[in-house]
């Protein structure tokens, strides 16, 4: 059987919207939602009494947005924009936050051309009133670049991210940690355009800046290590990725303890890299550690471990893992059923293999993303 490993990445390859891993939050969203639902009728009554109150309009729009009522939020932001234009003129800096909010709502409504217009207007206003090198202009360029990025307009996003970095460098210097997010974003854009050498330079620079700014033992450093390692992995530079994943794992273990779910994912990353270097014994050990953290009920870890067991020619052990997987509610069971069928044929169990193949054939294809 051809060995194929599912590559699990702690930090998404794209640097956009990167978040520091945390422990699972307490179940509070419902209470938060109730608070907004209580506010909604109160603010609607207040707005009926004072329909031109920008404070009430902005607050109610924020509530609508939090409740997922994006059409209503967009209507209020458009009204707020008209009121501010009438009061201050079309080029007033007072319009910029409303334009930004309306752009974000348009994105949520999948109205990307309208969002582009709003961001472009905000950029023009900020450049005219605050100057072309103001840090908030960099924020606007990054927001518009992000909009292009999610539409896969990578060539259009590139000069905007580049301009944002130039502005930040001019304001804060070349080694300020405020640059890191912009560097990561441009690196992601380069990666999508297969400009991998340029992406590597930016990710290395981002890592060095973070290392210097926050010290070697910090979640941001671990994230940066994972991003660079992921790039190396995508280039099949497994030996280069290895020390980065090892250092990242050490950071997560130190910060979160050996039994945290983030540590399990980091173990997976390192295990995949070892497997690609054909060090299956070390990969097996790491996958077993990850599986133990996840209480042996994680399908991805079971799958990876099963594939490694096959790589080690331990087909009986792999059989037990596949048997557990097919009994689990998998998102897409077809590939697992087919792989298991192939393993069963290797084990000279053709009737069971045929059963797995029939089950796979009877399932609908997973929709393409």
Phi, psi of 181 (to 5 degrees): -60, -40
> Which residue is listed with tokens 């193949």?
357
Q: Supply the pLDDT for residue 111.
A: 95
Among 199, 143, 274, smallest CA distance to 266 is for 274
What's the CATH number of domain 296-369, 1.10.540.10, 1.25.40.10, 1.10.10.1400, 3.30.70.1350?
1.25.40.10
pLDDT of residue 291: 81
pTM as predicted: 0.75
Produce one character per residue of 24-52: b if its CB has 16 or more CB atoms within 10 Å, e if not. Answer: eeeeeeeeeeeeeeebbeebeeebeeeee
Distance CA 324, CA 306 (A): 10
Q: How far apart are CA 358 and CA 284, in angstroms?
A: 30
Per-domain residue ranges of the chain: 35-294, 296-369
pLDDT given at position 300? 74
- Contact, 336 vs 305, CB < 8 A? no
CA distances from 349 to 9, 40, 280, 303 (A): 35, 63, 26, 20
Give the 3-state DSSP-derived string for the chain, with helices as H, strands as E and coil as C: CCCCCCCCCCCCCCCCCCCCCCCCCCCCHHHHHHHHHHHHHHHHHHHHHCCCCHHHHHHHHHHHHHCCCHHHHHHHHHHHHHHHHHHHCCCCHHHHHHHHHHHHHHHHCCCHHHHHHHHHHHHHHHHHHHCCCCHHHHHHHHHHHHHHHHCCCHHHHHHHHHHHHHHHHHHHCCCCHHHHHHHHHHHHHHHHCCCHHHHHHHHHHHHHHHHHHHCCCCHHHHHHHHHHHHHHHHCCCHHHHHHHHHHHHHHHHHHHCCCCHHHHHHHHHHHHHHHHCCCHHHHHHHHHHHHHHCCCCCHHHHHHHHHHHHHCCCHHHHHHHHHHHHCCCCCCCHHHHHHHHHHHHHCCCHHHHHHHHHHHHHCCCCCCC
Sign of the CA dihedral running 93, 95, 98, 99: negative
What is the model's pLDDT at position 13?
33
pLDDT tens string, the chain, 369 residues long: the values are 334 344 333 333 333 333 333 333 344 444 445 587 888 999 999 999 999 999 999 999 999 998 999 999 999 999 999 999 999 999 999 999 999 999 999 999 999 999 999 999 999 999 999 999 999 999 999 999 999 999 999 999 999 999 999 999 999 999 999 999 999 999 999 999 999 999 999 999 999 999 999 999 999 999 999 999 999 999 999 999 999 999 999 999 999 999 888 898 899 899 989 989 989 889 989 988 888 887 655 677 777 778 887 777 788 888 888 888 888 878 788 888 998 899 888 888 888 889 889 988 988 876 555
- In this chain, the answer to whether the domains covering 35-294 and 296-369 adopt an identical fold is yes
Q: What is the pLDDT of residue 260?
A: 86
Residues 165-175 have pLDDT tens digits of 999 999 999 99
Query: How far is Cα 239 from Cα 277, in angstroms, rounded to an integer?
Result: 8
State residue 295's pLDDT score. 64
Which region, left, alpha or beta, applies to residue 236 given φ > 0 means left and ψ of -120 to 50 means alpha?
Answer: left
CATH second-level architecture of 35-294? Alpha Horseshoe (1.25)
């Amino acid at each position: 059987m051809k060995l194929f490993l599912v590559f699990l990445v702690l930090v998404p390859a794209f640097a956009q919207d990167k978040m520091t891993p945390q422990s699972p939050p307490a179940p509070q969203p419902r209470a938060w939602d109730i608070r907004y639902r209580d506010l909604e009728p109160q603010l609607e009554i207040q707005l009926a009494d004072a329909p031109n109150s920008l404070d009430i309009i902005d607050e109610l729009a924020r509530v609508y947005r939090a409740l997922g009522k994006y059409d209503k939020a967009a209507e209020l932001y458009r009204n707020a924009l008209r009121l501010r234009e009438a009061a201050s003129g079309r080029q007033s800096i007072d319009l910029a936050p409303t334009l930004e909010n309306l752009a974000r709502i348009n994105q949520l409504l999948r109205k990307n051309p309208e969002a582009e217009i709003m961001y472009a207007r905000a950029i023009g206003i900020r450049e005219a009133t605050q100057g072309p090198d103001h840090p908030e202009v960099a924020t606007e360029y990054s927001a518009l670049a992000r909009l292009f990025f999610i539409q896969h307009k990578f060539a259009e996003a590139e000069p905007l991210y580049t301009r944002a970095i130039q502005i930040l460098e001019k304001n804060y210097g070349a080694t300020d940690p405020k640059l890191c997010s912009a560097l990561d974003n441009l690196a992601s854009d380069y990666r999508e355009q297969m400009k991998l050498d340029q992406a590597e330079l930016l990710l290395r620079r981002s890592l060095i800046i973070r290392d210097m700014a926050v010290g070697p033992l910090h979640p941001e450093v671990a994230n940066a290590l994972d991003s660079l390692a992921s790039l190396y992995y995508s280039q099949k530079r497994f030996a280069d990725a290895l020390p980065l994943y090892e250092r990242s794992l050490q950071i997560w273990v130190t910060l979160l303890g050996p039994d945290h779910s983030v540590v399990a994912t980091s173990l997976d990353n390192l295990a995949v890299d070892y497997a690609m270097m054909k060090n299956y014994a070390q990969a097996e050990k790491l996958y077993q550690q990850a599986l133990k953290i996840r209480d042996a009920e994680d399908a991805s870890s079971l799958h990876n471990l099963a594939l490694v067991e096959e790589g080690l020619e331990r087909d009986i052990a792999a059989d037990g893992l596949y048997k557990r997987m097919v009994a689990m509610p998998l998102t897409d069971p077809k590939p697992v059923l087919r792989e298991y069928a192939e393993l069963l044929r290797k084990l000279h169990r053709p009737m069971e293999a045929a059963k797995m193949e029939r089950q796979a054939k009877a399932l609908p294809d997973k929709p393409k993303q």
